[in-house]
Amino acid sequence: MIKRIVIATRNRHKVDEIRAVLGEGYTYLTLSELPGSPKVVEDGDTFVANAVKKAVELARWLHEQGQGPAIVLADDSGLAVDALGGAPGVHSARFAALDRAGSENSSDQENNLKLLRLLANVPYPERKARFRCAIAVAVAGAGPVALTFEGACEGHIRFEARGVKGFGYDPLFQPEGYEASFAELGEEVKNQISHRAKALASVAPRFRSLA
């Protein structure tokens, strides 16, 4: 039975979220505990492609290092806005930075301002959007294959930012069925309905058979 889960992130929030779903029966490691792990360029056209690339490359590296049996979990997520043809999509983290040279990410505030600017004349019913998350699961030593899982959370882009919790586009995203933004609703609600929570929920049953 494989007892080690390696998560392709440095984000503690993601680890806590994953631990909450998969349980305490495993040792969880992140990239922060794995110096020298490969830096993966997220250049896929889809969230699934990026998640698979991250999971498979990390699984191969772990195997090459002789780092015992491990299950690798990688995720990729972002916002898709209908009125923008699905943008920012896989470019969510660097949406504003796309307008300038270089390959760095842009700040959440810059990204949110760009989104508001592009939607300035779009009425509420046409501001439909969804957060999407893809999770890929690979096993170190099992070759370049991964299982994939997806989750989405439907909503609208508000006319102005509201709330201080969360990160990224949370202040602008109003999930369906709520009169508040993700940044006002906070973690407890978000963990019930978010794209990541839904993708993770579909991982859990398959995971037990894998491990």
Among 26, 37, 78, 140, binds ligand IMP (CB under 6 A): 78
Does 57 contact ligand IMP by CB under 6 A? no
Query: What is the x/- site pattern for ligand IMP, positions 106-125, by CB under 6 A?
Result: -----x--------------
Among 26, 61, 149, 169, binds ligand IMP (CB under 6 A): 169
Residue 71 or 151 with smaller CB distance to ligand IMP? 151
Residue 128 or 211 with smaller CB distance to ligand IMP? 128
3-state secondary structure the chain: CCCEEEECCCCHHHHHHHHHHHCCCCEEEEHHHCCCCCCCCCCCCCHHHHHHHHHHHHHHHHHHCCCCCCEEEEEEEEEEEHHHCCCEHHHHHHCHHHHCCCCCCCCHHHHHHHHHHHCCCCCHHHCEEEEEEEEEEEECCCCCCCEEEEEEEEEEECCCCCCCCCCCCHHHEEECCCCCCHHHHHHHHHHHHCHHHHHHHHHHHHHHHHC
CB of 193 to ligand IMP, least distance (A): 11
| 99 is known as an active-site residue | no
Among 30, 92, 174, 181, binds ligand IMP (CB under 6 A): 92
Residues that bind ligand IMP (CB under 6 A): 75-79, 92-93, 111, 131, 166-170, 182, 194
